[in-house]
Each structure stands twice: as C-alpha cells, then as structure tokens.
Amino acid sequence: MAIGNLPSLTGNVASKTISVTATASQTLFTVTGGYRINQLSVYRNGTRLVDSLDYTARDGSSVTLLSPATLYDVLEFQVFDDFRVADALNVNSGGTVNGNVTVIGIVSATSFVGSGANLTGISSVSFATTSFGLSGSPNITVGVATATTFVGALTGNATGLSGTPNITVGNIVGAALTVTGNFTVNGTQTIINTTSLEVADKNIGIGSTSSPTDALADGSGITIYGGTNKTITWERDTGCFEYNQPSKFKGVIETVSTASTYDLGGGRVVLELDVRNATTYTHSLTNGTVGIVSFKNMPADTGVSNGTTITVLFTQNATGTANTTVATGIGTNCFVVGFEDGSTVAGISTRALVGSATTVTLSTTGSDRDFVSFFVHYTGGTNTTASSYQVYATKNGGFRQGTVGV
C-alpha cells in the first residue's frame, strides 16, 4: 500500500505517470517528455517527496534528489498536463455556444461567421481588418448612443465591413433594410427597382457636387422611359428648361416686371426687356418718348428655331403726348441681344413688323393704358445676323376705367 498524500484526480485533469529504477547513489533523473514547472509530483518507493526539501525540479526536464537514491529505488513522476472544463471553448480550435452570451466590454474579432446571431448592448466593436466574411442570416445591433444601428436579415455574403460605427456592405439581398442615419451611395450607377418611391424631403437635388457650375448642370433633368423617352432638361445653351413633349397646364401665372430704361443721348431712350426675368412688363411714359425697344437674353440655340412673346403694359403720360407719332412710335427701332451657350452674343438692330406697315402708336388720351405685344422669332441661323431675327408688334389700346354702371 502506498504511503503519502496521493493527489485526488478527476476526469478534468489530464496527467501521466513515469516510473524509473534508480542506480546506486543516483541523484539526477530525466523525466521523459518533460513537465511543466510546479505541475509535478515525485514519489520514492511510494512515498511522496517534498519539493525543495527532498528534490528540486526547475528546468522542465530533470529532477535532482537532495539525498542519493539506493540501488533499485523506484522513482515515480506524476506529470499534470492540463486542466479541462466541460463545454469550455478552446482558444485555438474554437467551439459552439448554444445559449445566450452577454459581453461587457470590448469584442475584437478578425472574422465573424454565423447564423441567427444577435449582438446587443456592445460598448464597442472593433474589427482587426476592414474586410471579412459575414454569412448566414445574422441580425447585428450595435447598441451604442454614438453608433449606427444596423438590424436586418441578410442572405448570401456581406463583405467589407469597416469602421465604428460606419458599415460598408458590398451587397444586401433579402429582407427590408432600414437606415436611421445619413445614407451615402458612391458609385457610377444606382438602380432602384420599385413600384413606389416616396421621398420625405421637399427638395430633391440633381447634379450635386462640391463645385457646381452651369457647364456641369447642362443636360440635367428627368427622363421618363417609354416607346420614346420623355425628358425635362436644363440646357445651358439657351438657359432654359426644355421639354421634348407637349406641355399642358391648368393655369399659367406670369411674372410681371417693371421695364427699365436708359438714355443713349440725343433724345434716344431705350426700353430694355430682359426675357430671362419675365415676359410681361409695365412701363410708365412719364419720362418721355421711348425710341428703341431692346430684347435682352433672347434664347438663340443655333440651328433650332424658337420664339418668345413679350407684352408691355404702357401707361400714357398725363397729357397723352408720349409715342403718339409714326416717327417716334413703338417698334421703329428694335435691338435684339441673343443668349446662347451660357452667355450673351452680340446684338442686332431691326424694325418691328406691324399690321399698318408703319409703326405702333399709343393712345393720345392722358393716362390711357395700351397693351403692346411683341413676338420675337429666332430662325435658328447665325445668332449675330439681323436676318436671323424677326420682331412682330401689335397693340390693343385706349384702355381706361369704364363709366357704365357708375
């Protein structure tokens, strides 16, 4: 029967026993396979020896007796390899956790593969690389006030997750995706296949860039696909929105501007109408006779014929003497300044075509009002040549407050 305090072992402890027969006066013994320091028990003829009093074991491979052995003494070395706990995860080979796991602190990982995984309440998630495989159908929730929350069922593979809290996903297929923060898509093409698109923002930006210019905005707009595409685009050459289909409006409200004048000297007063601001103007003739009507920024898309109707509401002076003769009538001299490719082009001088083949004269009654309408036709020719423009003028006049029913 063995004498001494034998260790009480369980199935959790992996150990081995090595026996050696001593020679006369032997003190140094080699433990086959080595041992872990302080994980060794030594027995001499069944009696357990005491470390440092009976032997020393400090190098992991040999044991030295402090008292020499006698011939045929039996030395036993009990080597403890490791301590094992049931259901523990191996740090090298990993394992499977079937229940809930709560982690308080930081979780760091180089890869994450699983199905039906939920990570909630994590104070920080750190990925060692910016690209790893995320497979199965996981739900990922980063419950941090400063972090983006991403919850969704994914199928296939999502790769390229990076940053905290930014998440970059190469492809998402499957269930609905809700993004509660800002959402930026970088790429050359974005295709949305949906039967209904709702945008909460009341203003939609097109052609957004850090340094917007008219040249970059040229051709921007909306295309509706059909047998022939329907487009609404902004064109830089005319400075206008252009439609390739007819337009129908329930009601049209025109902007009414006040015409401006400037004096060329010698009694020549110019009435300037900038068609980029409005097509309907008012003008009071209290400042005298208007000798030249100037149409500024007329769309002049070379090769494309177009026209613009411009109306001026004239109010006669108190004595009815302004622009009442043929020599000084409206349309005796017209000046047209074209607008093409984002800038104005050299103006041309012409005369208005009128029904009387003379000119348009205004009412001779003080304070009367006359409507004079001009139609400026650009033929699509050279935009600095007078023959490329035709100006038509007509008048409805003599308007004043009626007396019937007063």
Condensed to tens digits (0 to 9), the pLDDT of residues 80-123 reads 876 566 667 777 777 777 777 777 766 665 555 444 444 444 44
| Lookup: tokens for 186 | 């970088």
Q: Which pLDDT belongs to residue 358?
A: 82
Phi/psi of residue 216, nearest 5 degrees:
-70, -30
Task: Determine the average pLDDT of the residues in 234-256.
Answer: 91
Q: Is residue 149 very low, low, confident or very high in pLDDT (cuts 50, 70, 90)?
A: very low
Q: Which pLDDT belongs to residue 146?
A: 31
Lowest mean pLDDT segment, chosen from 50-54, 141-145, 154-158: 141-145
| Lookup: tokens for 404 | 């019937």
Per-residue pLDDT at 405 exceeds 80? no
Q: Which pLDDT belongs to residue 313?
A: 97
Task: Determine the average pLDDT of the residues in 41-49.
Answer: 93
Lowest mean pLDDT segment, chosen from 162-171, 271-280, 343-352: 162-171
Task: Determine the average pLDDT of the residues in 186-206.
Answer: 89
| Rounded Cα distance, 377 and 286, in Å | 30
More confident residue, 341 or 229: 229
Task: Determine the average pLDDT of the residues in 136-144.
Answer: 39
Task: Determine the average pLDDT of the residues in 36-59.
Answer: 92
More confident residue, 217 or 121: 217
More confident residue, 309 or 169: 309
Per-residue pLDDT at 49 exceeds 60? yes
More confident residue, 300 or 308: 308
Task: Determine the average pLDDT of the residues in 225-239.
Answer: 92
Sequence-distant (≥ 6) Cβ neighbours of residue 253 within 8 angstroms = none
Q: How many residues does the chain have?
A: 406
Lowest mean pLDDT segment, chosen from 75-84, 204-213, 271-280: 75-84
pTM over 0.85: no
The percentage of residues in the chain with a pLDDT greater than 90, rounded to a whole number, is 47
Q: Which pLDDT belongs to residue 397?
A: 93
Per-residue pLDDT at 391 exceeds 60? yes
| Lookup: tokens for 220 | 């921007």
Dump pLDDT digits (tens) for 153-166: 344 444 444 455 45
More confident residue, 61 or 142: 61
Per-residue pLDDT at 169 exceeds 90? no
Task: Determine the average pLDDT of the residues in 220-242.
Answer: 93
Q: Which pLDDT belongs to residue 265?
A: 80
360 contacts 352 by C-beta, under 8 angstroms = yes
Burial class (CB in 10 A: 0-12, 13-18, 19+), 144: middle
Dump pLDDT digits (tens) for 22-44: 999 999 999 998 898 888 999 99
More confident residue, 353 or 183: 353
Q: What is the mean pLDDT of the chain?
A: 80
